[in-house]
Amino acid sequence: MHSLLVERIHPRRMRRWIAQLALGITSLHDMGIIHRDIKPENVLVDRYDNVRIFDYGTAYIHDKPVRRGKKYSKELVGTRQYLAPEFLSGKSYGPTVDYWALGCTMFDLLAGDVSFRFQTARSSHLVV
């Protein structure tokens, strides 16, 4: 998907991919997996134009479904431009970090560029 950031992508196609990613992330959480590194480079588009999430090298794996509102880890992993504020503050976090990264990925698709190049740029957009 990262290579597609330089192309003009039809909005209907983007909406389809974003919806599929959201459903995929929810399914991962239902299986007890927090991906922790959702980004365009970790999303493949197959020949049927469906997205596939891959690269589970930094994933947190729990023996039961992970739920919003619960905290599972404090480990700092992932790609800086897609990290949720919880990562950066050193607080414990849960599955919502994947949805933050989805939002950043969605921005990248729509804008054709990464949402936050530097930490200072990100912090200027956060309301604490």
Beta bridge partner(s), residue 44: 52
Q: Is 81 helix (H, G, I), strand (E, B) or coil?
A: helix
Annotated catalytic residue 37: yes
Report d(CA 105, CA 81) in Å as an integer: 10
Residue 98 to residue 60: CA distance in whole angstroms:
11
From the list 30, 37, 98, 113, the catalytic residue is: 37
Residues designated as active site: 37
